[in-house]
Structure 1
Amino acid sequence: MTALLDAARDPAYPAEIALVIANVPGAPALDKAAAAGITTATVDHRSQGGRKGFEERLDAELRARDIELVCLAGFMRILTPWFVERWHDRLLNIHPALLPAFKGLDTHARALAEGCRLHGATVHYVRAEMDAGPIIAQGAVAVMDGDTPQTLGARVLEIEHAIYPKGLALVASGAVEIDGMRVRLKSGDGAPPAPLIVPAT
């Protein structure tokens, strides 16, 4: 979230962060956003009468503020197909792995256990299936022989901070289109397209 807020401070950035909303009262992100002058809201998932009530309230809060795109950042709840379809192609997520590999949790430990030489992060459109959806941007890091899940995760986090603002910028500016499971760059003005991949470091 902080990376997105920092990127959006640039007047040339194609997206405005209009709202930060949390499902946990007192989440640190709310204070960070408020300090940056961003409107905040909380929809406590524990007090909405179940998942359906929570998602209906969340949807209502977003629509009441004319939100166009939703970026999940540190949001650790699986959204139902109802909500995902309501925000079809307007809901983005960042995942700490090179999807479609290592969906779910503990991605860094699993990448090490599988002997991966490259690991990274993915910005993608959200679909009803967990950690699925057309891939907007990916970034990779080399896996070092002495890596632990913690050291590898720290380098992947740097990649996440780099590619999430880039992925959001591509979508918000209308620079991409979805073709099945492929996200393609539009080439309207003849200029070379911006890269969708951040090289390994």
Structure 2
Amino acid sequence: MAERTPVAVFVSGSGTNMAALLYASRAADCPYEIVLVLSNNPDASGLKLAQAEGVATFCLPHKGIPRTEHDALMEAQVLQSGARVIALAGYMRILSPEFVSRWEGRMLNIHPSLLPKYKGLHTHDRAIEAGDPHGGCTVHLVTAELDDGPVLGQTPVAIIPGDTGDTLAARVLIAEHQLYSRVLAAHVIRLQTAYI
């Protein structure tokens, strides 16, 4: 098997998608490894989990730091770790266009809707209110436009009568955990072949 591609994961909260990526990376045939988990939130439980699993972590609260400067400080850690790909996993910060353009084609995000529907927040409530038969999740490449990059994969999740935003979110999260690791692995393999 080719050498594993080092990946850095950005989190702001519980880090369940980061955990899904990390545990998927333990499979013998996984083409990537998680080398660093970064956060803008010192209380993010995703950081504690990464530390417990022996993964390097870095945290830099963003308050009082200009966006481009904060991004550059985070990016310096990513470069130092040797990561070649960035996975955003519940990172609740809009990134500067400069940072995004430097990682074009190598930064992925997971979003809890079937893009291009419902960019931004409250995606599950919006899908239910619209009477959609499905909610779901999307993994896409990150561009300067919010939740707008090329779609790499989607999983529809049925909306059940009586669903609330919370009950739908819980099922979509299960789909997210499966979709993200699968799509990241496929994208990493594409990048590996492009480098050869």
Give your verdict on TM over 0.5.
yes
Alignment of 1:48-67 (within 5 A): 49-67=65-83
Using the TM superposition, give the Cα deviation of residue 175 of structure 1 relative to its aligned residue in structure 2, in angstroms.
Answer: 7.3
- Counterpart in 1 of 2:28? 11
Counterpart code for 2:157: V
- How far the C-alpha of 1:26 sits from its partner, in A, is 3.2
TM-score when normalising by structure 2: 0.86
Counterpart CA distance in 1 for 2:67 and 2:132 is 37
State the TM-score, normalized to the length of structure 1.
0.84
Deviation at residue 11 of structure 1 after TM alignment: 2.0
Query: Post-superposition shift, 1:57?
Result: 0.5
Structure 2 CA distance for aligned equivalents of residues 74 and 98 of structure 1:
16
Tell me the amino acid that sits aligned with residue 31 of structure 1.
Answer: K
**Which residue among 23, 29, 40 is the counterpart of 2:57?**
40
1:92 paired to 2:108: yes
Q: What is the root-mean-square deviation in Å for CA atoms of aligned residues?
A: 1.5
2:47 aligns with 30
Which of 78, 102, 107 pairs up with 2:94? Answer: 78
Aligned counterpart, 1:151: 167
- Cα separation, partners in 2 of 1:176 and 1:116, compared to 1, 3 Å: farther
C-alpha deviation, 1:13, in angstroms:
0.5
How far has the Cα of 1:99 moved from its partner? Answer: 0.2
Q: Tell me whether 1:2 sits opposite 2:19 in the alignment.
A: yes
| Higher helix content, 1 or 2 | 2
Superposed CA offset, 1:102-151 (max 9, x none): 00000000001100001100000000000011111100111111111111
My pick for the range that moved more, 112-121 or 26-35, is: 26-35
- Which segments of 5 or more consecutive residues in structure 2 lack a partner in the other structure? 1-17
Identity among equivalent positions (%) equals: 44
1:169-184 map, 5 Å: 169-174=185-190
Deviation of 1:176 (Å) = 9.9
> Across the two proteins, how many residue pairs are aligned to each other?
176
What is the rounded CA distance, in whole Å, between the counterparts of 1:117 and 1:26 in structure 2? 36
Q: Secondary structure at the match of 2:35?
A: coil
State the secondary structure of the residue aligned to 2:63.
Answer: helix
Higher relative contact order (CA 8 A, sep 6+): 2
CA displacement 1:135-180 (0-9 Å, x = unmatched): 1110011111111111111111111011000010011111799xxx
